[in-house]
Structure 1
Amino acid sequence: MSQLQDNFGRKFHYLRMSVTDVCNFKCSYCLPDGYRPDGKPSFLTLTEIENLVAAFGEVGTQKIRITGGEPTLRKDFTDIVRIVADNPNIHTVATTTNGYRLAKNAKEWYDAGLRRINVSVDSLDPRMFYQITGENKFDEVMRGIDAALEAGFERVKVNAVLLKDLNDKDLPRFLHWIKHTPIDLRFIELMETGLGHDYFKAHHLAGADIKARLMAEGWLYDQPGKDDGPAQNFSRPDHKGRIGLIMPYAKNFCASCNRLRVSAKGKLHLCLFTENGLDLRDLLQHPEQRAELIERLHGQLTQKEQTHYLHQGITGVTQHLASIGG
């Protein structure tokens, strides 16, 4: 079966699969009022997930990141990891988490087949961490990162959204931390969403400014590998860790797009922004529907835009990033 490809020659081997939009943190840039359910949630079942993974595996998907909300809130999270890892077409199983369950479960998830993990840590100051996330769980999350390193994960990444007049002063502390800690630290430029115009205006910090500062301090740009995502990566010979910058407002950011998204309720999203998504759930009930599902995926890829429209201030229908897994 031919690989998923759009009209601009971009091939898609990376799926971000949300399994819940519930989150127990209240991050100011994402869910400032906390999670508010819209009726009784009906998220993808294990059977639907297995059929979804099988279809994407047949059309060239090699990496799946299990996302949320907070994906580890699902009691069957380990089973989900195992389903993805057991598919022979999927070479990399990853997740993004706020880390609150990581200390207790890192080894179990590793044994189930999880190999890469991103932990959101927006400040190394416990008080600022609490101010941004709404949860006093800094020590718990840091213990989880230690547990992930001990469990043997191929790659442990820490995600931080740097925010002007909030945690931007943490940059030196972050850089000092990774001098002796072998993690990939990723700074994510704040993106404007439907609910966040005023917040964006107050706290947006341009990724280009952070890049200039790093280069001035001796960080060296690493040439991207073919499987790398949109991050621009930097390293220094005297640091064990690396830095990645995700800068959605940078020129040609979308040129290397290699990922698709499926929401926790089974909608395909071609982009984090701009569109409502295409329902796949009616074709996730039985394995014999796979050919029709694959045909639908190929058909939808012809609709993918060349770029997002964030530069024009158009944020699409996405109200907050937790709704389709960031």
Structure 2
Amino acid sequence: MHPLADTYGRRFPYLRLSVIPACNFRCTYCLPHGYRADPNAAGPLSLDEIARLLRGFTRLGMRKLRITGGEPSLRRDLTDILRTAASVPGVERLAMTTNGSLLTKRLDAWADAGLNAINVSVDTLDATAFAALTGHDRLSDILEGVDRAVERGLTVKLNAVLLRGVNDDQLPAWLDYLRTHRVGVRFIELMQTGDNLDYFRRHHVRAELLEQRLRDAGWTALPRAADAGPAREYLHPDYAGRVGIIAPYSKDFCAGCNRLRVTATGDLRLCLFGEFGIPLRALLQRDEQIDDLVRAIGGQIGRKEKGHFLHEGRTGITPHLASTGG
């Protein structure tokens, strides 16, 4: 195993792999008009290509994998993907991010295949607001699936994008929920992408403001694990659940970066908001190419920037978060 390290001393044990760009929700901050396929785009990686990709990354020290989309449950072979990923030597933690629309139907199969952690997008606990945000009146069914995931023993987190004037006043409702639900709720600061500038200007609110409210209420910050995501997690003795804050506009946010991304068509992205993708698909066609794949990935890591350029309004080649799995 040869752990990847960039020129700033950061290591990358965490890979986020998109398996499909499509999504069946119409979230106002991501795909307000629904997913529109590019007729000229290549199809997503096959199961065999995914297996080779993961074998290459584990040789470079990857031990945590998160499956993303779009919406990954739209892949009919998702259970096979999870089973294959879980069987790759070196993958110690297999997670997935989903909108939860198929949780109640497919969770048992996913868990049996090896999934042990799941993040579900739930921006609000208000059913009317949820339907307005996503285009789907599915909140109660999704929360039922969340409860089932907890019962199955999965690590469960709910993702809520903070939106000024939409859900930024709902912390009391979330805290009531966390008193009795052993899940994490991660509040994510809205990020500017290539096609949401007007929306961003209307609804962006700094996550650090919410973080201060938590500290004032007695929540305590936890140490960050080496393979953890970007959230700063908080714990309170009176609550069963935890709170995470993802504040990409905060000082030194990128200093703890530990993850790389691969798009559904096999492009390596060194940063969610990077200016380029590095095509890997040609190196995923035969088992004998794994050595070449490892060399290619290792040879590109030096191009990773010290930080993103969101403060300058530069969003790279990311048109919306569904395009690279967020």
Q: TM-score range by the shorter chain?
A: over 0.9
Aligned to 1:169: 169
Aligned to 2:226: 226
> Are positions 1:62 and 2:85 aligned together?
no
Give a deviation string over 1:25-71, Cα, whole Å, max 9, x none: 00011111100000165110001000001100111000000000000
**Partner Cα distance (1:61, 1:301) in 2:** 14
Amino acid at match of 2:78: F
**Partner Cα distance (1:133, 1:70) in 2:** 13
Higher deviation after alignment, 252-261 or 220-229: 220-229
**Partner Cα distance (1:43, 1:186) in 2:** 29
Aligned to 2:143: 142
For residues 109-120 of structure 1, what are the structure 2 equivalents within 5 Å?
A: 109-120=110-121
Give 3-state SS (helix, strand or coil) of 2:180's partner. Answer: coil
Amino acid at match of 1:100: S
For residues 248-259 of structure 1, what are the structure 2 equivalents within 5 Å?
A: 248-259=248-259
**Partner Cα distance (2:42, 2:227) in 1:** 34
Amino acid at match of 2:176: H
For residues 38-53 of structure 1, what are the structure 2 equivalents within 5 Å?
A: 38-39=38-39, 42-53=43-54
Structure 2 portions without partners, runs of 5+? none
Give 3-state SS (helix, strand or coil) of 1:179's partner. Answer: helix
Higher deviation after alignment, 46-55 or 168-177: 168-177
For residues 1-326 of structure 1, what are the structure 2 equivalents within 5 Å?
A: 1-39=1-39, 42-153=43-154, 155-326=155-326
**Partner Cα distance (2:226, 2:16) in 1:** 18
CA offset at residue 227 of structure 1?
A: 2.5
Amino acid at match of 2:181: T
Give a deviation string over 1:256-289, Cα, whole Å, max 9, x none: 1000000000000000002220000000011100
**Partner Cα distance (1:225, 1:51) in 2:** 27
Which structure 1 residue ranges, 4+ long, deviate > 6 Å from structure 2?
Answer: none
CA offset at residue 128 of structure 1?
A: 0.3
Question: Conserved in 2, the CA contact under 8 Å of 1:229 and 1:256?
Answer: no
Amino acid at match of 1:84: A
Give a deviation string over 1:217-268, Cα, whole Å, max 9, x none: 1111112222322111111000000000000001110011000000000000
Give a deviation string over 1:161-215, Cα, whole Å, max 9, x none: 0100001122110111011100011000000001011111100010110111111
Amino acid at match of 2:168: D
**Partner Cα distance (1:117, 1:276) in 2:** 29
Amino acid at match of 1:313: G
Question: Conserved in 2, the CA contact under 8 Å of 1:20 and 1:74?
Answer: yes
Give a deviation string over 1:144-176, Cα, whole Å, max 9, x none: 1011112221x1000000100001122110111
Amino acid at match of 2:112: D
Question: Conserved in 2, the CA contact under 8 Å of 1:220 and 1:236?
Answer: yes
Amino acid at match of 2:212: A
**Partner Cα distance (2:167, 2:62) in 1:** 36
Amino acid at match of 2:279: D
Give 3-state SS (helix, strand or coil) of 1:65's partner. Answer: strand
Question: Conserved in 2, the CA contact under 8 Å of 1:95 and 1:118?
Answer: yes
**Partner Cα distance (1:146, 1:103) in 2:** 9
Amino acid at match of 2:178: I
Question: Conserved in 2, the CA contact under 8 Å of 1:274 and 1:314?
Answer: no
Amino acid at match of 1:113: G
Question: Conserved in 1, the CA contact under 8 Å of 2:64 and 2:227?
Answer: no
Question: Conserved in 2, the CA contact under 8 Å of 1:189 and 1:247?
Answer: yes
Number of paired residues?
A: 325
Question: Conserved in 2, the CA contact under 8 Å of 1:27 and 1:134?
Answer: yes
Amino acid at match of 1:175: L
**Partner Cα distance (1:248, 1:115) in 2:** 26
Question: Conserved in 2, the CA contact under 8 Å of 1:5 and 1:12?
Answer: yes
Paired-residue identity, %: 49
CA offset at residue 106 of structure 1?
A: 1.2
Amino acid at match of 1:93: L
Structure 1 portions without partners, runs of 5+? none
**Partner Cα distance (1:29, 1:290) in 2:** 38
Give 3-state SS (helix, strand or coil) of 1:117's partner. Answer: strand
CA offset at residue 104 of structure 1?
A: 1.4
Higher deviation after alignment, 90-99 or 102-111: 102-111
Higher deviation after alignment, 215-224 or 315-324: 215-224
Higher deviation after alignment, 2-11 or 77-86: 2-11
